[in-house]
Structure 1
């Protein structure tokens, strides 16, 4: 009976640890971020994407890679690894969630809010949308 109880307790601890580990890797923006609206009009989107591509190449590509798959040379030693921006998980997020993440950073990802203007951060969001 005691052995069975210890076995069950051990399984609960292992499953709990695994759940915590997987949740930790999933980066969730706060609810309010989902409601942020992209201020770039469809008429200005092409120019925004061009500007975003330039910013991505100079600021983001080192870790996220040339195609945004998270395989950049600068991200090789990072833990967690840079996000694959092409993935369904990233592309299914709202523009506001991506903007919030660019703005606030996490772990080794730079907090771009104090470095890039609001317009530049939206340009990056618009460029990330082209990485599908």
Structure 2
């Protein structure tokens, strides 16, 4: 009788093992490539001046659209962040702050799952204002 039960238990156990192995393998593989903007996008310069008006516009957009994932201070710790994979970027980090304005502008427009694309949501001017605000987050993080 033991031989009759062995295949019954073996196949579900193997299936569970493969599911777990492939899930972890997929997650790690999806996070290995660095998300980079194309060269043409990286080279774009922000046409907006980093003044108080553009900073206020960027902050308003950020508070309404980015805080749920990136948090009030841009550290990637918003209320929705815990359930996201990959985790939201920390906009105060040296990694984000070392990106060019054009790269940040492109990333806001394109999105990268789980972050949505904002190309159709925001005008170009609004996205550039967001870049100005993201730059300000590093200064307030100290």
TM-score normalised by structure 2 residue count = 0.74
Partner of 2:44: 36
Alignment of 1:38-117 (within 5 A): 38-42=46-50, 45-117=51-123
- Please list every run of 5 or more consecutive structure 2 residues that lacks an aligned counterpart in the other structure: 1-25
Greater mean alpha carbon deviation, residues 94-103 or residues 26-35: 26-35
Q: Could you say what the CA RMSD is over the residues aligned between the two structures, in angstroms?
A: 1.7
Partner of 2:137: 131
- Please list every run of 5 or more consecutive structure 1 residues that lacks an aligned counterpart in the other structure: 1-16
Shift of 1:59: 0.2
Match 1:27 to one of 16, 35, 38: 35
**Larger Rg over CA atoms:** 2
Shift of 1:41: 2.7
Aligned residues: 112
TM-score normalised by structure 1 residue count = 0.79
